[in-house]
Amino acid sequence: MIVDLSDQIVIVTGAGRGIGREIARVTAAAGAHVVLVARTAVDVERAAAEIDATGAKASAWPADITDAAAVAELVAGVAKRFGRIDGLVNNAATSYLANLVMAKPDRWRAVYELNVFALVSCTQAVLKHMIRAKRGRIINISSVSAPLGASYYSAYASSKAAVDGFTRSLAREVAKLGITVNSIRPWFVEADDSNDAMAARAKMFGKSTEDYLAGLIAESPQQRLITAREIAALAVFLMSHDARGIHGQALNVCGGHSM
């Protein structure tokens, strides 16, 4: 099935690297004009240029979405330029690797500021436009660690559990308004940003990155990591008209790691 998102306007946060960049690329390939948002200007501008070079439509918008004023400026600017906002993919996130006894409170707060509060801020700002249009798609990138937990990643896993709870609650609020809200729960993804996190985790356990990755793959029923393309493909389908009945769900893309 070919998903056609022609003329739709979709905002993707955390779009400078990894999963977010691939979601932006596949969404643009489906016909949408994608607004790529990330804190690092060079990353998001490069990602948008790569999409433009394919003939698809993309705009770079460097912004720190933990700043409420920056979020308001982003959403107002996109709405003014395009006259509509059809989709929001809340992908921007960070993690913190530490055992709880040694964990620093400010690092925990930083995880929640981006993974939870910034996500809520972006959603709140975009939702007003979707309600007026009586249509919209909101997709939150969560994690399979939300239901399962993850040792030494308690800040990250618990923040993603909060994302799933927010997803279900908002879905109940907007169910009659033509807006769908869902989350996608990846397992370990083969992407540049997640590879950095896996290297840090390997170091913590005194292993090489290669040995640690081999162990992760051995744990997977499919004996592999998930690809960013798989996450992007599901996100694009959830933006489609045919996915309008999928609502308030947390969808695992984990190769059977969680069943």
205 occurs within a structural domain? no
At residue 55, the pLDDT reads 97
Is residue 131 a part of any domain in this protein? yes
Domain contains 164: yes
Task: Give domain status of residue 138, yes or no.
Answer: yes
Any domain includes 51? yes
Instruction: Give the CATH number of the domain where residue 238 resides.
Output: 3.40.50.720
Q: How many domains does the chain have?
A: 1
- Write down how long the chain is: 259
Residue 159 included in any domain = yes
The answer to whether residue 3 sits within a structural domain is no
107 inside domain? yes
Residue with tokens 């799933």: 164
What predicted TM-score, i.e. pTM, was given to this entire model?
0.96
Q: Which domain holds residue 76?
A: 9-189+227-253
Q: Work out the burial of residue 100: count CB atoms within 10 Å of its CB; fewer than 13 is exposed, 13-18 middle, 19 or more buried.
A: exposed
Q: What is the pLDDT along the chain (259 residues), one digit of tens a residue?
A: 789 999 999 999 999 999 999 999 999 999 999 999 999 999 999 999 999 999 999 999 999 999 999 999 999 999 999 999 999 999 999 999 999 999 999 999 999 999 999 999 999 999 999 999 999 999 999 999 999 999 999 999 999 999 999 999 999 999 999 999 999 999 889 877 667 777 877 887 888 888 888 888 898 999 999 999 999 999 999 999 999 999 999 999 999 988 8
Catalytic (active-site) positions: 156
**Cα(158)–Cα(143) distance, rounded to whole angstroms?**
10
Q: Which of 111, 124, 197 is nearest to 161 (CA)?
A: 111
235: its two tokens: 């996100």
Q: At what angle do helices 119-133 and 68-82 cross, to 10 degrees?
A: 30
